[in-house]
Structure 1
Amino acid sequence: MGEPESGARREPLRTVDVARESGYSVQQVRDLERLGVIPPAARSSNGYRSYTPVHVRALRAYRGLASAAGPVVARRILAELRTQTLAEAASAVNAVHVRLAREREEALRAQEALRAIQAEANTAEFEQERDAMTITELAEALNVRPSTLRFWEQEGLVAPERVTSLRARRYGLPAIRAARIVAALRGSGYGVVAVREIMESLHRFDGLEEARRILGQRLDRIAVRTVELLRAGADLAAVAATSATTPGEPG
């Protein structure tokens, strides 16, 4: 099953053949076999590795999966395809599509949040009504826990503008804006270090524009990863159809 593009070729494939058809080097083919991305090659009587077209499809599938979800996830999925049912294999691949869609939605929401922040910065009513907030009020407005705001404070991302004698935090308008940007970026999947770099850029005149540019780049990368996953689809289907078991069959 899983007819390869070189399906007319019935003789066993050598390591160099697999490398040429998959786009990997000979050493990479051996390394990926060792890591379990492809099943162990059969050995001929003279000890040489003997591959099949399915190995080529698996390596091509791995390339797209690694680009879309990272090499660790890609290795796990390719290894599990050999023991899962077809339904389980399809579910695992679909989960990568869902993850990419979720990342895209989060990035789009972050972009929308930045646009709202920019609009509010030009609204006099917002300046008057939101001159300060307590940590509880700000946490509720951002739909995060107060402990999250304290963590951001420890990491130098957002700081209250004053703390009363009772150690009650008060956040002024600049801190509120900063917290909203941090929340948008964290919700979009950015790590603390990346968020800190963006927040430092906000001190420049083009701060919000820089944040929007970075989010735009993230959306572009998600689009590229999505295309790579789609490109790997035919190879993944061939590997799954060849390797996966059906319910009730041994793996």
Structure 2
Amino acid sequence: MDGTESGSPRAGLRTVDVARESGYSLQQVRDLERLGVIPPAARSDNGYRSYAPIHVQALRAYRGLAAAVGPVAARQMLAELRSATIVEAASAVNAVHVRLAREREEALRAQQALRAIQSEATPESEPEPEYEPEREPESECDAMTITELSRALDVRPSTLRFWEQEGLVLPERVTSLRARRYGLAAIRAARIVAALRSSGHGIPAVREIMDSLDRFDGPGEIQRVLRQRLEQIAARSVALLQAGADLAAVVVSAREPPSGG
């Protein structure tokens, strides 16, 4: 029983009060309590649930965390942070901020790679130069091994090999020992592919978009996806910031000894 009837006199917040304050439905409040997102509610002698303001703060913290890292990871974080110290909680939240900053950086690098690819094609609106300066060959430091590129993109080397099999990112040089080396063109393509995959695009969609780069209007779709990706990362970062105060209150409350009756 939840004591959602308006005439049930008792201390604390009713389920309907918590639902109203947190923006969740009655059933969602019960489900999130069952999943450990919020601490168990106190029970009166007649079995009614009695919540406290900390339950509302926990639900608000969960909403922000879920928007930032997804509901599964948010549930795990809240369950762990309720028994953590302030230092541990701050470290966990900071790790999420770092992850979001890295995702933003990779999306910006993908935009930069796209601009570089576009700039290599001579626009029809610009007159051709009287002479074309000799392009310097790519140096060894411009290339990456499969290990270096996988670390830069935060993907597994097997992912890069799979993209190679799918014709999305091709090493520009393979030594006699089958060690892959990725030049600037391949690195740029890999950054764009990684951004598209992070945006939820499947391999067929990524292949279609990458193949469109050779068309006059092809880069437009990639630009749109990357802008949308950056907007999503910004929204997740804001949600994480909004969850901060409520999450801190939850952690502090869990560390406080129960008050005497």
Say yes or no: TM over 0.5: yes
Aligned to 2:4: none
Checking the alignment, whether the CA contact within 8 Å between 2:196 and 2:225 is kept in structure 1 is no
Q: CA separation of 1:189/1:235 partners in 2, compared to 1, >3 Å: closer, same or farther?
A: farther
Q: C-alpha displacement at 1:218, in angstroms?
A: 0.3
Q: C-alpha displacement at 1:98, in angstroms?
A: 1.4
Q: CA separation of 1:39/1:24 partners in 2, compared to 1, >3 Å: closer, same or farther?
A: same
Quick one: higher RCO (CA 8 Å, sep 6+), 1 or 2?
1
Q: How does 1:123-202 map to 2 (within 5 A)?
A: 140=145, 143-144=148-149, 149-158=160-169, 177=185, 180-186=188-194, 190=198, 193-194=201-202, 196-202=204-210
Aligned to 2:239: 228
My pick for the range that moved more, 89-98 or 200-209, is: 200-209
Which of 232, 239, 245 in structure 1 is aligned with 2:250?
A: 239
- Percent identity of paired positions between Structure 1 and Structure 2: 61
CA distance in 1, matches of 2:146, 2:137: 14
Q: C-alpha displacement at 1:190, in angstroms?
A: 2.1
**TM-score normalised to structure 2 length:** 0.72
CA distance in 2, matches of 1:24, 1:108: 35
Checking the alignment, whether the CA contact within 8 Å between 1:198 and 1:211 is kept in structure 2 is no
Q: C-alpha displacement at 1:188, in angstroms?
A: 7.6
Equivalent residue letter for 2:236: R
CA distance in 1, matches of 2:73, 2:98: 14
Runs of 5+ unmatched residues, structure 1: 1-9, 131-136, 247-251
Checking the alignment, whether the CA contact within 8 Å between 2:38 and 2:59 is kept in structure 1 is yes
- How many residue pairs get matched? 228
CA distance in 1, matches of 2:159, 2:12: 57
Q: C-alpha displacement at 1:147, in angstroms?
A: 6.4
Q: CA RMSD in A?
A: 3.8
Q: C-alpha displacement at 1:126, in angstroms?
A: 8.6
CA distance in 2, matches of 1:142, 1:219: 26
